[in-house]
Amino acid sequence: MKQVIHFSFLIFFIFFICCTATSAQAPAESPAESPAAVPSGPIKIIAILKKSGHFTTFIRLLKNTDMAEQVNGQLKKTNIGRTIFAPPDSGFSDLKLGTLNSLSGSEQLQLVQFHVIPAYLSVLQLQTATNPVHTVAGDSNEGDFQLNVTSSSTQVNITTGVVNATITDTLFNENGRLAVYQVDHVLLPLKLFGTSPLTPPPSKPEKDDGLNATAPASSGVVDPNCQVTAAISVGVAVAALFSLWL
């Protein structure tokens, strides 16, 4: 009887050890499934633009005007969100030479602020937005910083009264926090640019077909060959008259 009890206890002990070992070796929760493992660090607008690789001028403006730090800080402290229109380097190359350097520090800040909407707007929300759209630069209702968004079935267009631009790509989109859209032109506010500083496309030279050719102006110098020809003509005429007279 004692042997049966000891044997039963031994079986129970072995079963307990096996269960304990199995529990210890159970796979841990994967980082993707763990809420604590989801990245929750602050958004860096410069890092987003650098990843795309062709926003050097806009990045420099964001840094020089401290707008990069302002946007990062606002996204960290508030839940309102931001929408940024980012022109690539090719958009800045469309401007006349020296356009950016002609702006003061405060004007460069206003130019960058004109590319930032103080709210998160998805593409669908942009398509249904009420115009004029308010930017960080100032009150759009006065017309100085007026930004109007229109859309079609295939694209979203932005007009400022100075330039027309189109959203060509979505660089970053975190619902409710930040949307960064690439635009093909720099958004130029009416307050800073009364007339468009865009470089006009080079004109094609007109084809010379000879129909519009003009006669060269007279220089006042008589060609010697013309003098000889005139003298011969006069001589022939005099000889003819003399022969008739005889």
* Structural domain boundaries in the chain: 40-183
Using one digit for the tens of pLDDT, what is the confidence trace for 50-65?
A: 998 899 999 999 999 9
- Residue 193 to residue 94: CA distance in whole angstroms: 14
Query: Directed axis angle between helix 45-52 and helix 56-64, to 10°?
Result: 160
Tokens 């129909």 correspond to what residue?
211
Q: What is the mean pLDDT of the chain?
A: 74
Contact 122, 175 (CB under 8 A): yes
Pairing of β 178-183 and β 82-86: parallel
The tokens of 106 are what?
């405060």
- Residue 181 to residue 175: CA distance in whole angstroms: 13
Contact 123, 156 (CB under 8 A): yes
Q: How far is CA 231 from CA 16, 217, 227, 235, 240, in A?
A: 138, 25, 6, 6, 14
The fold of 40-183 is: FAS1 domain (2.30.180)
- pLDDT (0 to 100) of residue 78: 78
- Residue 74 to residue 113: CA distance in whole angstroms: 14
Contact 175, 203 (CB under 8 A): no
- Residue 96 to residue 87: CA distance in whole angstroms: 16
How many residues belong to the chain?
246
Contact 63, 56 (CB under 8 A): no
Tokens 């304990």 correspond to what residue?
20
pTM over cut 0.85: no
- Decide: helix, strand or coil at residue 116: strand
Using one digit for the tens of pLDDT, what is the confidence trace for 189-203?
A: 999 997 666 655 555
143: pLDDT confidence band, cut at 50, 70 and 90? low
Q: Please give the angle made by the CA atoms of 177, 129 and 42, to the nearest 5 degrees.
A: 10
- pLDDT (0 to 100) of residue 144: 79
Contact 163, 198 (CB under 8 A): yes
Using one digit for the tens of pLDDT, what is the confidence trace for 76-121?
A: 887 889 999 999 999 999 999 999 999 999 999 999 999 999 999 9
As beta bridge partners, residue 179 has 83, 173
- Residue 193 to residue 161: CA distance in whole angstroms: 9
